[in-house]
Structure 1
Amino acid sequence: MTPSPITSTGPSTGTTTPSIHSDKGGNEKQIEAVTERAVLPEQLGSELSRQVRHKYASSYRKIFAAIFTVNCAVFVALMVKSNGNPNSRDVGSAASANLMGSILFRQEEFVNLWYEIFTCVPHSWPLYIRKRLAKVFHYGGCHSGAGTAAVVWYLLYTVLATKEWIEEPLTDVLVNMITSWVLVSMFLIILTSAHPNLRRRFHDYFEAFHRFAGWTALSTFWVHNIFSARVTARQLDMSLGAVLVSSPNFWFICVSTSCTIASWSRLRHRTVYPEKLSNHATRLHFKYRGMAPFYGLKISDKPLTEWHAFATIPDTDPESGKIVGFSVVVSNAGDWTKEQIAKSHERKLWVRGAPLHGLLYTSKLFRRIVVVATGSGIGPCLSLLFAGITPRRVFWSTREPLGTYGPQVVAEVKRADPNAVIWNTHERGYPDIVREVYQLVHESNAEAVFIISNPKVTEKVVYGMTTRGVPAYGAIFDS
């Protein structure tokens, strides 16, 4: 079958073809690409070792386990220190510290800071260090690990608070116990709804539970903290203010509350200018601010019930070339996206929080990469392609790329990689994607692979590359 005019396939002649890419300063670099067909190597290790190392022992789970191990060590230390009868204030402080840590890893500026720290190393550092630093996007393990630990600590605190009320049934102690049980109930609702299986199956309900139970817990936390301080003030014969300012709980909850306020205080109703690409996709343009590459934003038309995260693409002025706005590509993947595609008129949508770095920002750590996208996954990749920082090859598999996403999107891909492989699945069927991606790695001598796709294809490519010794990174769906 003759390939379409926009489809590029790797030649098998054994010759070399120079590929031109621009660096961050706009200077062109020529990279000699080896073009003979590569033989896909055998996977490393046994089936069991591959499953354990590359599937079950993910960085996300390692981080989760590390946080839980630290908390277990602290629990043992408290038990030893108190001869098996831990102080409720110490337990409460441990719970509050974990809760603060969990919320911090959902605060945009804090997360961006971690990205900046992990990606600031030079390319002269060994690859085995850089490929591990690139896994900073697994920070969700910190959020869930600290959150789960907070629930366990608070359950223990509530048991101790109930014991104190039984021993001393005063009003302040009673309120302290009741608010503790309310907090534990809210935390258990959040924890249960966040289980990956339930989250995927009932995502809209998960968002509602997570948000409203979280707000209820935060409000109750303040009431609980004040009454708990009153109990302590009476026991130690101190003023309420002195107890509060000397309590770690008070400062932990101040930080947690500030993080929540910081995000929601930036809730804005912004005008959006749609550019309908096809019946399957649309591009939403925002003009209220410029947006540098490698950022994402949350968008909604129902801010209290659901939010949708999209990677932003800088929009430039055709004459000056300056960034004057940004856009997001939306494809048909559910009721909300279908509704946005159907609306072709100018309107307003809600945006919240600060722009957030994502997976593709870590591509800066590598000298050369291969970018893989399927379908609308090309949307987030356009920001990376626009940045032009890292030399890259592109593999994009989709149905009717020109008809679905329009000539401008295709042109942006070809501009970033003149030899991009744009695989039209309508003409050629589905590719052997692991083999095709490895071919591009072989041609360009890339150090890493980045993929934006659905969970099934992402896992297939990441597993197929990492088990052959090629660092590969794809979005995780349980963070």
Structure 2
Amino acid sequence: MDSPRKVERFASCRGVAFEIKPHADPFAIPVRAQNERQGSKRSWLPWSQGSSFKVFPYSDTIQRSVSRASSHFCDLEDEEDENDDNMYVSIVETIEETNDEEKQKPLPLHLPISGSKREQQPARPTKPKPSRLSVILLDQGLFTVYKRLFVVCLTLNITGLALAASDHFPYAKRKATLFSIANIFALTLCRSEAFLRVVFWLAVEVLGHSWVPLRLKTATTSFLQCIGGIHSGCGLSSIAWLIYSLKLTLKDRENTSSDIIALASTILALLCLSSLAAFPLVRHLHHNIFERTHRFAGWSALALLWAFVLLEISYDPISKSYDNEFGSRVVKSQEFWFTLAITVLIILPWVTVRRVPVKISAPSGHASIIKFQGGVKSGILGRISPSPLSEWHAFGIISDDKTEHMMLAGAVGDFTKSLVANPPSHLWVRAVHFAGLPYLVNMYDRVVLVATGSGICVFLSFLLQPSKADVCVVWVAKGIEQNFGKEIKEWMSGHPKEKVIVHDTAVLGRPNVSQLSIDAAKNWKAQVVIVTSNPEGSRDVVNACKGAGIAAFGPIWDS
């Protein structure tokens, strides 16, 4: 047994955990052993179907190697973040590497190199470790759709603000507070799961036809995946408009109540605090602080906004007092209706919160399977919580859309580890599930779905129930039955090999996932590739596919 060593890992808001240092390339292909038989072109996976074994052909890009510890365990679970996708959270774990051949017991006939004689690989040059901020801000490029939406939204608001300040936009100058509230409404709308569920459904219903141009479908997918850019842009814009409004109010103090000024100043402080907590570096290093600050500062700002709007409507600058009979003015106030809409959007998810019984099993110490009653459509995700006021966790849903659905949770955080060590009998859920990138699979005709580790959970429903898209699933994972259970293994094994490609790293070693995805897309004649992996793996697959002329999408840190 090898000696224990510390491995630095990251986890995304979707629960993706991966190593930073052990390998310069997370998808590095091991060097072919000198004594490997060159004639064989088939590899055996270590699961049985009756008395037979499932066999997958492989090319030179997928070479056999000795078993080794998995470098990542990709989960669609949010052990740290309940609202935003793919936000990295730094965690450090001590992993004791063991001789995997003793646990997996693959057939030695097909693995010529034993576990006691590992391949001697040449030392790889170490790459300089990028800063965490550069990973978040620059790793996916300077001109992503997310950043372009952010810039466009911010530019439009700054332009309107400049026109108002120069007296070229008198309405905006009179209604600066309204523009700030309207931006808050827009950013809330971009994060409303109920609203986005309707938008995603409409996108699939309207664009999910063969005659719709592929370019329009991919553009829509990019926009919906990166709508968080509008959320961020409107957040900063609301602060800018409120500062401008407060400046105008202070110039005209004699016609304004000091209570209104105090409320506006407090709301501004809360918005600034919420935005600072959402700054990528803060979210990355102190995600729990961001989560709680964003939630409670937002709720506090909403309560104060109601007080601000009602006081502003009822205040009479002539008598310098508040009018108790201001009902007619309330109905005509645009600020009132925007504030009411914001409140409805924020309260709506909480109306659907329920405490439900669950059945939890743990095939291994690496993952747990959580079962719920009721079927769910393919491509849908859900949120669960042990304590609804403090944390929520997002998972992909596995279901045949009949009697039950389940979530596969990789044990990479405190909450997900507790599901394995001390499974609860009940969990809090949001009864209305939400749609994400996987739901848009239904917009296309032929799709390749690429997953690593427990990222497979959100794609399994496309195999278990009929869907609009014809899919091919590529799954790269370690120890299929040992880590993910017999049930999931049987689901994956019950399909023809051209539709389901499984690469068990415990037997075959690490593949070149990018090349594997490209080959599968070409063979399947896919219109698009959708990948769920760790952030670096998703980026590599997406970039490689785009370089090969294939449209590809993967989760981003704030999708």
TM-score, length of structure 2 as denominator length: 0.72
Partner of 1:466: 546
Q: Map 1:203-214 onto structure 2 (within 5 A).
A: 203-214=287-298
1:146: which partner in 2? 234
- Give the Cα–Cα distance (whole angstroms) in 2 for the partners of residues 9 and 181 of structure 1: 66
Secondary structure in structure 2 of the residue aligned to 1:469:
coil
Residue 7 to residue 233, structure 1, CA distance change in 2 (3 Å): farther
Q: Larger deviation: 230-239 or 263-272?
A: 230-239
1:3 alignment partner, one of 19, 22, 44 = 44
**Cα deviations across residues 255-297 of structure 1 (Å, max 9, x unaligned)?**
000111111122211111112221111110011x332222111
What does residue 58 of structure 1 align with?
A: 144
Task: Give the conservation status (yes or no) of the 8 Å contact 1:374–1:452.
Answer: yes
Q: CA deviation at 1:404?
A: 0.5
2:273 paired residue among 181, 184, 189: 189
Report the number of matched residues: 428
Aligned-pair distance for 1:62? 1.8
* 1:376 aligned to which of 454, 472, 479: 454
Alignment of 1:396-415 (within 5 A): 396-415=475-494
Residue matched to 2:176:
91
Instruction: Specify the alignment match of 1:418 in structure 2.
Output: 497
Change over 3 Å in CA distance of 1:175–1:6 after alignment to 2: farther
1:199-254 CA distances to partner (integer Å, 9 max, x unpaired)? 12211111100110011000010111112223367589995223322221100000
User: Is there any run of 5+ residues in structure 2 with no aligned partner, and where?
Assistant: 1-35, 37-42, 46-52, 61-136
Residues of 2 paired with 1:456 and 1:54: CA distance? 9
Q: Give the partner amino acid of 1:248.
A: Q
Q: Which residue of 1 aligns with 2:214?
A: 127
Check 1:411–1:226 CA distance in 2 against 1; reply closer, same or farther (3 A cut).
same
Aligned-pair CA distance for 1:339 = 0.7
Tell me if the contact between 2:448 and 2:474 (Cα under 8 Å) persists in the aligned partners.
yes
The answer to whether the Cα contact below 8 Å between 1:183 and 1:217 also exists between their aligned partners in 2 is yes
Aligned partner letter, 1:157: S
The equivalent of 2:101 in structure 1 is none
Q: Distance in 2 between matches of 1:416 and 1:67?
A: 46
* Counterparts in 2 of 1:243 and 1:324: CA distance versus 1, 3 Å: same
1:163–1:130 Cα change, 3 Å: same
Residue 117 and residue 232 in structure 1: after superposition, are their counterparts in 2 closer, same or farther (change >3 A)? farther
Q: Which of 417, 433, 442 is the equivalent residue of 2:522?
A: 442
Structure 1 runs not aligned, ≥5 long: 13-50, 317-322
Shift of 1:193: 1.0
Q: Which amino acid aligns with 2:164?
A: L
How far off its partner does 1:440 sit? 0.6
Give, in whole Å, the separation in 2 of the partners of 1:336 and 1:397.
25
Bigger mean CA offset, 208-217 vs 391-400: 391-400
Preserved CA contact (<8 Å) 2:400 2:461:
no
SS of 1:8's equivalent in the other structure is strand
The change in CA–CA distance for 1:161 and 1:400 in structure 2 (over 3 A counts) is same
**Structure 1 pair 223/6, CA: closer, same or farther in 2 (3 Å)?**
farther
Once the two structures are TM-superposed, the CA of residue 385 in structure 1 deviates from its matched residue by: 2.7
Question: Aligned-pair distance for 1:438?
Answer: 0.8
Q: State the AA in 1 paired with 2:212.
A: W
User: For residues 243 and 7 of structure 1, what CA distance do their matches in structure 2 show?
Assistant: 74
Q: Residue 300 of structure 1 corresponds to which residue in structure 2?
A: 385
Q: How far does residue 142 in structure 1 lie from its aligned partner after superposition?
A: 2.2
Per-residue Cα deviation, 1:153-177 (whole angstroms, up to 9, x for no partner):
1122222233333x45xxx611111
1:53 deviates by 12
Tell me the equivalent position of 1:251. 337
Question: CA distance change for structure 1 residues 83 and 391 in 2, over 3 Å: closer, same or farther?
Answer: closer
Q: CA deviation at 1:117?
A: 2.5
For 1:455 and 1:232, how far apart are their aligned partners in 2? Answer: 55
Name 2:22's counterpart in structure 1.
none
CA distance in 1, matches of 2:483, 2:453: 9
Inter-CA distance 184–475: structure 2 relative to 1 (3 Å threshold): same
* Amino acid corresponding to residue 369 of structure 1 in structure 2: V
Structure with more contact order per residue of length (Cα contacts < 8 Å, sep ≥ 6): 2
Aligned: 1:174 with 2:254: no
- Separation in 1 of the partners of 2:308 and 2:474? 54
Q: Which aligned segments of 4 or more residues in structure 1 are displaced greater than 4 angstroms?
A: 51-54, 83-89, 232-239
CA distance in 2, matches of 1:232, 1:62: 44
1:402 touches 1:410 (CA, 8 Å); kept in 2? yes
Task: Sort the Cα spacing of 1:460 and 1:174 in 2 relative to 1 into closer, same or farther, 3 A.
Answer: same
Alpha-carbon separation, structure 2, partners of 1:219 and 1:179: 10
C-alpha distance in structure 1 between counterparts of 2:294 and 2:54, whole Å = 44
The aligned amino acid for 2:57 is: T
Q: CA contact under 8 A between 1:295 and 1:358: conserved in structure 2?
A: yes
Q: Would the aligned equivalents of 1:88 and 1:161 in 2 still touch at CA under 8 Å?
A: no
Greater share of helix residues, 1 or 2? Answer: 1
Corresponding residue number in structure 2 for 1:361: 439
